[in-house]
Structure 1
């Protein structure tokens, strides 16, 4: 089981504290097992943490950081220029042991104060980005992304971006199916870009429920492994190709074939994560026909190659494939 330690310091922002607890706490493996153990930690001996209008009591102290696989640093209302005694040492020791550390919103100030972000790219809430850059000029601050993944160290922008980052980490740990379930439980989409284009699950452009295209879209998704032509899709819909194109643009904002390409790429992402099938086999399974066409379309939509995508998101325990 993967242990997530959420370090709550005085002035912690309530949503920043609850977001990782809820997101990681709601994750479930396909067999029903819980993949994460979430522990809330405090730097105080009595475990108390001021959260603005109320006070919470954390059951764990700084020693729990040394046992964690992931440490989350929520934002605080007024980021201090120096961290409480013992906190920077505990975080640096955890980092030296390979622990993944992530900050939420202005929690990036706490993270940067440890020196662990020196020389790295990071983000925070846009309104605080200039202050972070001025306080820590050794950190490259990017205010234009939802989150930044440097591998071991991650930073997110505002509170909503924290959910995107947490889902991203769940997906890296246990695959898209587990992350998708956590997203549904949090009533969140799983496709928002975080500044790491190669790590996006691209959502299919939706049609409003009950519209004339809804049955056709379901049929297309179910048959995206076939090399469908526009004429075939139009015949299935009982429309001319001209009418079909017009309806698609009105209801989804894209064309039938562009929608189909995205459906195929999304299917390919799932197969790359959950199977050891070769790229050649997946190209056939997803209706691209040739591996070359598959690789070109996948890179165009997902922003990276199938092999690089598989390396990042292969489900734990899944053997590598010969790509």
Structure 2
């Protein structure tokens, strides 16, 4: 995935357009970061009015989208707006050509209007989810997740969740190191799972690690993933009862302690498979699994391929 198309048209949210640029626009190359070709595509010869009074003249016409490896649709300012046959037809042509498509926030309304989400699961900003479900009953709306999709079509929730989906797509195509490099440049979290809750019961605390027992605990776990961590053990390290620990952990991260732990172990396994020649059994034990056999089903569930296949595929992508 090297050539990425950003579809713009009147009413696109400037923030989402900027996110796409931050993730995929060419910049000074850092170790582990691929060189992308971001193509901003829109109605030919027309200046596009973005949200906030900004304007942008597309670099390419809509027809260029079918030549991309991925097409990303920013969110729109007005989810109730109807879109031109030209824009909807371009999206249908992209889907027919087999080019993967991802939408950010209310961009899901545009995909749904084009008929691309019929019979599929999709998400959008939690406040817009009821309207998406009402207008497009053929779509299964999941208002609780950060992003969802697969088989060439992705949707994300609002604002920061769009960043999460973009980084997920980079990670899937180019590996954990590439996604982490871009996330570091953006000063954002390198990984939040798509199934993580959009709307947390309480805000994530803005505290230094030394001031927050849960942040200290997460740092301790990440530094010793080979330890046989359990909820009981983590709760004891955080000086909390198991029930209080599990409730507070889920409220502040949007996921359960054990799911977070498995996600971190798989992410570390991805990094080691990409960056080292360690045997898979060694990678597994370093990440807290008993062996490559116990790592395999968890890795396949989250990444889609087995660890050895992932290493071969990643090395092939590097050579390409």
Q: Is the 8 A contact 2:175 2:314 kept in 1?
A: no
* Alpha-carbon displacement from aligned partner over 1:121-175 (angstroms, at most 9, x marks no partner): 0011111111111211111111111111223000011011100000000001100
Partner of 1:159: 159
Partner of 2:284: 283
Q: Is the 8 A contact 1:43 1:84 kept in 2?
A: no
Distance in structure 2 (CA, Å) of the matches to 1:305 and 1:52: 38
Distance in structure 2 (CA, Å) of the matches to 1:71 and 1:60: 13
Q: Is the 8 A contact 1:175 1:315 kept in 2?
A: no
Q: Secondary structure at the match of 2:85?
A: coil
Partner of 2:37: 37
Normalised TM-score (structure 2):
0.73
Q: Secondary structure at the match of 1:119?
A: coil
With over 3 angstroms needed to count, the CA separation of the structure-2 counterparts of 1:86 and 1:184, relative to structure 1, is same
Q: Is the 8 A contact 2:14 2:50 kept in 1?
A: no
Normalised TM-score (structure 1):
0.72
Count of residues in correspondence between the two structures: 292
Q: Note the residue ranges of structure 2 that are not aligned, 5 or more in a row.
A: 198-206, 247-257
Say whether residues 1:22 and 2:22 are aligned partners: yes
With over 3 angstroms needed to count, the CA separation of the structure-2 counterparts of 1:148 and 1:122, relative to structure 1, is same
With over 3 angstroms needed to count, the CA separation of the structure-2 counterparts of 1:156 and 1:192, relative to structure 1, is same
Distance in structure 2 (CA, Å) of the matches to 1:149 and 1:311: 24
Shift of 1:6: 1.1
Q: Secondary structure at the match of 2:38?
A: strand
Partner of 2:172: 172
Match of 1:318 among 309, 312, 315: 315
Shift of 1:260: 9.2
The CA RMSD measured in Å over matched residues stands at 4.3
Partner of 1:308: 305
Partner of 1:126: 126
Q: Is the 8 A contact 1:41 1:64 kept in 2?
A: yes
Shift of 1:25: 2.5
Partner of 2:270: 269
With over 3 angstroms needed to count, the CA separation of the structure-2 counterparts of 1:281 and 1:113, relative to structure 1, is same
Q: Secondary structure at the match of 1:4?
A: strand
Distance in structure 1 (CA, Å) of the matches to 2:75 and 2:153: 16
Distance in structure 2 (CA, Å) of the matches to 1:228 and 1:127: 40
Partner of 2:104: 104
Shift of 1:79: 3.2
Query: What aligned pairs does 1:65-80 form with structure 2 within 5 A after superposition?
Result: 65-79=65-79
